[in-house]
Structure 1
Amino acid sequence: MNSTATDVVRLLTVKGGTLAVAESLTGGLVAAEITSVPGASKVFRGSVTAYATELKQELLGVDGSLLAARGAVDPQVAAEMAAGVRKALGADWGIATTGVAGPDPQDGRPVGTVFVAVDGPSRPGIGSASGGKVEALRLNGDREEIRRESVRSVLVLLLTELAGEHTGNERAQDTEQNGGF
């Protein structure tokens, strides 16, 4: 069982928060990882696997002109997917994955280009008003390795945001004080 997913479920349970997931290249693996944790039903609202580009717009509210101009593999698309699933499923936190697992490039992006995003409650003074964050990844390996690392990366990003929520501490310091999530 994934200890990162366990930590995410534990932290969301303690904080009384809920989570929704939007996935593209990971095809449901993030939701499967979270729901493999006993007690996940207390925090996990659901997921949308929007593999087809048009579903990102129709189900998650991603801007159609953004998709037309940049394609589905884009940091802003990832951010809008996370915000969209959070809103659509009524969760406190939304996370999203979009990218190219291979074997072929997509939207002019090479295999291994991945964007993971988290959108959460607004935190005044800590950056974005929407509470969102996107991380760009350049992953190596085969299709399965890229998908697995994307799952791990989005969960680590969420865990980092959850651990830093409502603290004035630097994230690295906070993580170190809490046993190094």
Structure 2
Amino acid sequence: MPKIQASTVAEHRAAQRAALLDAARGLLSRNPAEQPPSLAEVARRAGLARSSTYSYFKSREDLLDAVIADTFPRWSAYVTEQMDRHADAGRRVLAYVDANLHLVARGDHALVRALAAAGRPDTLATSSKLLHDELRTPLEAALRAHGAPDPVRMAEVIQSVVFALTRMIEDGTPERKARRLAHELLEPYLGG
């Protein structure tokens, strides 16, 4: 029996599972157009035996579903954490934009595209809707606090800006330049 690397078996299993999810994320992010990695590739990258991977995931599809379920809450938590650093509503909106663009530049959006190509469409669609709903709530609240007469529609406009800048980053625009463009556009409205 392998030696556990934590103070309890439960902690050890959680760490092993997290290592497998991180390995899968890394492999998926490196080239979203490639086939999803096999369980053997994920195990190798995580430094585990292939056979131990089956203790955590029944199949590659099961692993991909777990990556989806694990990734989207991380995205939402990061954006919310960045927004919560600011008391001013306008700064909160800009933090929302900056955080999303940072995650795109870091490769998290490439991971989402890879999951879209490889994962189960129903799992991805459900998780994606939940993510967007979770992200829309604090954005709309910040816009409402800023005094937007229609925070729901303004949130859609902000999301359109994020989407356009996401495509630019994925086409090679540096994150810093994309953020500068966002600020140049939004700061006059947000009181800069």
Q: TM-score if structure 2 supplies the norm length?
A: 0.28
Q: Which of structures 1 and 2 has the bigger CA Rg?
A: 2
More strand by share: 1
More helix by share: 2
